[in-house]
Amino acid sequence: MADKPQVIKEVNSSLDSAKSSKKTVLLCTNGFQNADIHDATNMLEYFKQNFAAEFSNCEVMPVQLFHPADKKTHHAHLYEEILESAIKRYIDDGYDIVLMGYSFSASLAAKMQYKYSKHIQKLILVAPIYDTIVNGMINGYIQYVIKFHKLSKKYGPRVAKAMGRNTTKGMIGLLLSILKSILCCRGYYKKITCDTLILRGEKDELCTPHSIKKIRKHLRVKNALYRYPSMDHGMLKTIRDNKVAYEDILHFAFGTPFIAETDALAVVDKDKNEKMKIKYDVDGEPIPTFLEIFNQLDPDAEEERKQDQEAL
């Protein structure tokens, strides 16, 4: 048994997680990335492997907001147009919509939920970024690009394979467009009209506790916060490490069952001040974090990071 729970659920009020009886789609937006591998790809595979047969009326659809190597797609207004187009397509096909925003695009998802509130029945915010300066987002992303570029030159394909990334072209321009999207859309958190689930890895340095506090303060709807002690900002990356989060998302979206046997999962109902424990399963040893991969590939990574910061 693990020393810490895999997830701590802070529930202000009961959220609807009934099994979907109508055609329902979970539209998933991506966060900052420099590869065309969508952040929700592994969760989609997990759904197909475990739930698609029983939940044939449900669909998980990743929505790619931009293409990293194509600078023409690096514009905040295009992110909105792409997501809006996907929403309209499923509305026309008669689907109920559950919208999931990840990282920077959580605020865009909030805007779209407000705009299409009659059709978007539930909202999921995964590692939502609200702060942009105090959380070091800009400096952190720039450091990521610089470090990836250096390691790519030094180690070649090993880095791309380890990180699942393949380009740094136009990353600074992309970062600025992401910053604009956050600043233009984050005011819509207070306008959300549906049940909202928020997920945060407690090792996440970009989605800060301050961000979560601000977002929940703005919310005027039923909402719950699920905190994952072992996860960071990349909390959708692997089935091995993140399937607990996948199951929480899919259960909220479609009413899918919890199939993994688990370690101690703590649930805290803040209204009733009750605590429950459910058992979940641990699937093997955790794989290295991004930082551990960097340090393994480049033992001088920390010293170089300090030098990079001084240069900036």
251 by DSSP, 3-state: which?
helix
| pLDDT score recorded for residue 162 | 52
Q: What is the DSSP annotation of 139-167?
A: HHHHHHHHHHHHHHHHHTHHHHHHHT---
| pLDDT score recorded for residue 206 | 86
Q: What is the mean pLDDT of each run of 10 residues along the chain (312 residues)?
A: 71 79 96 85 96 97 92 94 98 98 97 98 96 61 62 63 53 84 95 97 90 93 94 92 95 93 54 40 47 48 50 44
Q: What is the pLDDT of residues 152-185, one digit of tens each?
A: 667 666 655 554 445 555 677 888 899 899 999 9
Distance from C-alpha of 253 to C-alpha of 24, rounded to nearest angstrom: 8
| pLDDT score recorded for residue 274 | 37
Q: How far is CA 131 from CA 44, 182, 286, in A?
A: 29, 9, 29
Residue 86's φ and ψ, nearest 5 degrees, are -65, -40
| pLDDT score recorded for residue 169 | 59
Q: Is 228 exposed, middle or buried (0-12, 13-18, 19+ CB in 10 A)?
A: buried
Domains of the chain with bracketed CATH: 8-311 (3.40.50.1820)
Distance from C-alpha of 36 to C-alpha of 126, rounded to nearest angstrom: 19
Length of the chain: 312
Distance from C-alpha of 310 to C-alpha of 308, rounded to nearest angstrom: 5
> Is 83 within 8 Å of 63 (Cβ atoms)?
yes
Question: What is the dihedral sign for C-alpha 59, 76, 139, 186?
Answer: negative
> Is 28 within 8 Å of 123 (Cβ atoms)?
no
